[in-house]
Amino acid sequence: MQHFEIVGGNRLKGVVPISGAKNASLPIMAASILVDGETILHNVPDLADVRHLQVLLGRLGVKSQRDDSGAMHLRVEDEMNTHAEYELVSKMRASVCVMGPLLAKRKRAQVSMPGGCAIGDRPIDMHIQGLCALGAEFEFVNGDVLLRNKKLTGADIFLGGPFGSSVTATANVLMAATLADGRTIIESAACEPEIVDLANYLNACGARIAGQGTPQLTIEGVSSLTGTEHRIIPDRIEVGTFMIAAALTNGELELQGAQFEHIRAIVDRLRQVGVIVERAEKGLIVSSSRRLEPVQITTQPYPGFPTDLQAQAMALLCLADGNSMITEKVFPDRFLHVGELNRMGAHLRKAGPTVMIEGVKRLVGAPVMASDLRASAALVLAALIAKGTTQVQRVYHIDRGYETIERKLAAVGANIRRVQD
């Protein structure tokens, strides 16, 4: 296993190239199951989760490989297997994105229930409800969801849940509806930019989807889809993470490839804190005034403030000049980073889905343990500003969603290195 060794205190300055979005790449790669011929995807980040999905797709007869330019080529070579097994799905929840494509194209999908998650309760009932509304028969077999249907039929589907829309449930139902008979309308659909990117890829393959980016999606079913070439959007959560790195270290970073339209809620909150965000030719320039203002943040489905940036924002507000509050409305239990930040001298008190953050003058370096992807990013950010040295253990969590983060940080002045345990 590896850990990061970080000595805090350096001001970050320079250019950070933003990678492609993990949460757009994964459903789009899964969608290649629906497609005849070859798909070529550009800007797919080199992440553990991406490599993991390639293994699963390989088991499902989808060959995927990168060419010298890094572009990923995907092609279905065998449609026999329709079983996404526990051994693979349990390692990465986003594997459930193969459910809709398998059902629509191969008439059968047997996908392991994902199981427990560090960020809280994550059922897949909305995925099943949505696919059954298209006519699938559902059965529960040895911990697997089994869905079958000879020919899916378009339907009007309300896909709202206890915490609002669901990103991957929308993706699964949208993908399945592209090959269903007739029209499907999805109400309370997720509006995330990653869903828009998926719909744009599918439309380029011959699908007929409208309304992407709004809560109402309309899909006219077609008989087949043909491979195409597509460029994955930039990763807005990586953008937000580096914006906070610039703010915390009183630095100045140019985030190359960042798309302003995707991060309005993030920009709004960070500007309230006192972070300066300017559009630049190739992206954004982020810097901060010395004084960080306390604010209130509530996470919500897009276009609200993303839950995937909640932990990182908490690390920032630890250093604000006053008391802040963060309420987590998407994953109410997503707070495993709180205890670790308190180990670094933060003053955080959790009450239900809300954390009160009393701003402190400084954080101190300490050995801390990453518990999940975004919590680990928050600990790395806190370490950049902490007095002394911090060891962030279990960095395999961060490798799931950030492409060589330590190299990108070191390139703009951070004192960080990856150490083999």
Binding to ligand EPZ in span 78-117, by CB under 6 A: 93-94
* Residue 245 near residue 268, CB atoms below 8 Å: no
The C-alpha atoms of residue 95 and residue 45 are separated, in whole angstroms, by 17
Least spacing, CB of residue 63 vs ligand EPZ, in Å: 22
| Alpha-carbon gap, residue 201 to 127, rounded angstroms | 21
Annotate each residue in 322-341 with x if it binds ligand EPZ (CB under 6 A) or - if it does not, as one string: --------xx----------
Q: Exposed, middle or buried by CB within 10 Å (0-12, 13-18, 19+), for 185?
A: middle
Should residue 397 be labelled a site residue for ligand EPZ when binding is judged by CB under 6 A? no
Q: Which of 191, 197, 317 is nearest to 264 (CA)?
A: 191
Q: Whole-angstrom Cα distance, residue 372 to residue 360?
A: 25
| Shortest distance in whole angstroms from residue 80 CB to ligand EPZ | 26
Q: Which is nearer to ligand EPZ, 127 or 230 (CB)?
A: 127
Count other Cβ atoms within 10 Å, centred on residue 79. Answer: 14
Residue bearing tokens 């899964």: 30
Q: Which is nearer to ligand EPZ, 97 or 247 (CB)?
A: 97
In the three-class reduction of DSSP (H, G, I as helix; E, B as strand; rest coil), residue 85 is classed as coil
CA dihedral 104, 108, 110, 111 (to 10 degrees): 0
Least distance (Å) between residue 13 CB and ligand EPZ: 27
Do residues 186 and 157 lie in contact, with contact meaning Cβ atoms separated by under 8 Å?
Answer: yes
Alpha-carbon span 347 to 174, nearest angstrom? 43
Shortest distance (Å) from residue 199 CB to ligand EPZ: 14
First to last CA, the chain: 6
Which residues face 299 on adjacent strands? 305
Question: Is residue 374 involved in binding ligand EPZ (CB under 6 A)?
Answer: yes
Q: How far apart are CA 127 and CA 89, in angstroms?
A: 15
**Beta pairing partners, 83:** 110
Kindly state the smallest distance separating residue 237's Cβ from ligand EPZ, in Å: 6
406 part of the interface to ligand EPZ, by CB under 6 A? no
Give, as one character, the DSSP assignment of residue 164.
Answer: B
Interface with ligand EPZ includes 195 (CB under 6 A)?
A: no
User: Can you tell me which of 70, 115, 162, 367 binds ligand EPZ, judged by CB under 6 A?
Assistant: 162
Q: How far apart are alpha carbons 82 and 110 in whole angstroms?
A: 6
Answer for which of 25, 54, 166, 249 binds ligand EPZ (CB under 6 A) is 166
Q: Which of 167, 199, 314, 385 binds ligand EPZ (CB under 6 A)?
A: 167
- Establish if 26 lies at the interface with ligand EPZ (CB under 6 A): yes
**Closer CB to ligand EPZ, residue 158 or residue 364?**
158
Interaction between residue 308 and ligand EPZ (CB under 6 A): yes
**Shortest distance (Å) from residue 339 CB to ligand EPZ:** 19
197 binds ligand EPZ (CB under 6 A): no
Is 163 near ligand EPZ (CB under 6 A)?
Answer: yes
Determine if 231 is a binding residue for ligand EPZ (CB under 6 A). Answer: no
Residue 244 binds ligand EPZ, judged by CB under 6 A? no
Nearer to ligand EPZ, 121 or 156 (CB): 121
Q: Residue 165 burial (CB < 10 Å; 0-12/13-18/19+)?
A: buried
Residue 117: active-site member: yes
Measured distance CA(158)–CA(153) in Å, rounded: 16
Candidates 50-58, 119-127, 223-231, 282-290: pick the segment binding ligand EPZ (CB under 6 A): 119-127
- Binding positions for ligand EPZ, rule: CB under 6 A: 22-23, 26, 93-94, 121-127, 161-163, 166-169, 307-308, 330-331, 373-374, 401
Known catalytic residues are 117
